[in-house]
Every structure is written in structure tokens, then in C-alpha cells.
Amino acid sequence: MHGDDDVTAGGETIDVPADDDLSEGKEHQSRTWTVEHWRAFFDHLAMTGDVAAAAGAIGKTARSAFSMRRRSARFALMWRAALDVGYDRLEAAVLRQVLGETQTTLDVGAAMLLLDRRRVATGEATEAAKRKAADGKATRAAAERELLRRVRAFAKRTGTASPV
């Protein structure tokens, strides 16, 4: 019998199966993933992007998490959704840094490369971004210029003063 519950991953709600749909086998209780495991794992994954840490937080191993992802299409979809939340958090953190609204210091060039690679992988990238990700030669200065260009374009579209 399938019953649905929901999981919040980084503030986004995702449907998950009921407890009886999650077990990997009664003979291997240590491998059983409950709804609570799913909730905690995906929330932690969305916040950190770290599979091993997310699995460890619920007493599981990264190997067990990857195994569950291979076996369960729903788990795999939720994994992707949790990572999407993480990427959104990264993009917002870079924007806050460029706008001078945080004390946190990120490597903007590395963050932009990672975000560009994600866009390529998900098919969201422009042809220029695909070429840039393919050759891997984006510099920090180039990434910062691109981000500033995007911030200025956003300010122009919304009719607000550009903060930079």
C-alpha cells in the first residue's frame, strides 16, 4: 500500500512514500530508510551539498545513500531537488557577496564555474556558457564581471538603482 508523506528539503516540500515503501528488506534492518531518514537526509543535503555528511547525520553511509538512489527513482528525483536547492543557495550567497551584504567570502570564480557547469548539465546554459564550461578557462575576474553584468541588467529591468 502506498501512502504519501512529504519532506522539506531546504524549505521546499517534496512528496515521499510512506514508511512501508522505504524498506530495503526486513532482513537488513540497518539498511532500512524511514520517512524520518529521508526527511533528515534531504534537508541536510540541501543545506550542505555533502552526501557523506547528510548520510552520516542519520547514521547511514554515503554508499547506502548512493545505493538507495540507484534503486529508487523517487529517491533519485528528491536527491536532484535537494541539490537544486543547494545550488540556489550558492547562487544567492554569491549575489549577497557581490552586493556587499555579507561578511562571508566565497571564491566567486569557483562558484560561477560550478553554477555554469550545473546549467550545462541541466540544459539551462546558453551556447556561450556551454563553451566556457567546456574549456574550463573562466577566471575569477571574468566570473565577477559576468555577475556584475547580470546584477546591472536585473537592476535595469526592475527599475532599481544598481548597487554596483
In three-state secondary structure terms, 63 is helix
Reported as a single tens digit per residue, the pLDDT across 15-57 is 455 444 444 443 343 468 999 999 999 999 998 889 999 999 9
pTM: 0.56
Do 126 and 68 belong to one domain?
Answer: no
CA dist 142 to 105, 146, 147, 150, Å? 17, 6, 9, 12
Max Cα–Cα distance, the chain, nearest Å:
63
CA dist 43 to 9, 55, 79, 114, Å? 4, 11, 10, 21
State the Cα–Cα distance between residues 131 and 34, nearest whole angstrom: 43
Backbone angles phi, psi at 4, to 5 degrees: -105, 145
Do 8 and 79 belong to one domain?
Answer: yes
Do 66 and 113 belong to one domain?
Answer: no
Q: Collect all residues with Cβ–Cβ distance below 8 Å to 1 and sequence separation of at least 6.
A: 18, 20
**Position 94 in a domain:** no
Predicted confidence band of residue 126 (pLDDT cuts 50, 70, 90) = low
State the Cα–Cα distance between residues 121 and 115, nearest whole angstrom: 10
The pLDDT, as a whole number, for residue 27 is 35
Task: Report which residue type is found at 111.
Answer: A
State the Cα–Cα distance between residues 16 and 78, nearest whole angstrom: 8
Considering Cα of 112, then 44, then 83, then 164, what sign does the dihedral take? negative
**Position 91 in a domain:** no
**Position 154 in a domain:** yes
Do 45 and 113 belong to one domain?
Answer: no
Q: Percentage of residues in the chain with pLDDT exceeding 90?
A: 27
Q: Percentage of residues in the chain with pLDDT exceeding 70?
A: 66
C-alpha cell at 108: 566567486
Does residue 86 carry a pLDDT above 80?
yes
Do 57 and 114 belong to one domain?
Answer: no
The pLDDT, as a whole number, for residue 145 is 78
**Position 19 in a domain:** yes
Domain of 26 in residue numbering reads as 4-83
Do 78 and 125 belong to one domain?
Answer: no
Do 10 and 79 belong to one domain?
Answer: yes
**Position 40 in a domain:** yes
Radius of gyration of the chain (CA): 19
Any idea which residue has 515521499 for its cell? Answer: 16
The pLDDT, as a whole number, for residue 54 is 95
Does residue 101 carry a pLDDT above 60?
yes
**Position 126 in a domain:** yes
The pLDDT, as a whole number, for residue 164 is 56
Do 73 and 114 belong to one domain?
Answer: no
Number of domains in the chain: 2
Q: What is the mean pLDDT of the chain?
A: 75
Does residue 90 carry a pLDDT above 80?
yes
Averaged pLDDT, 101-127: 74
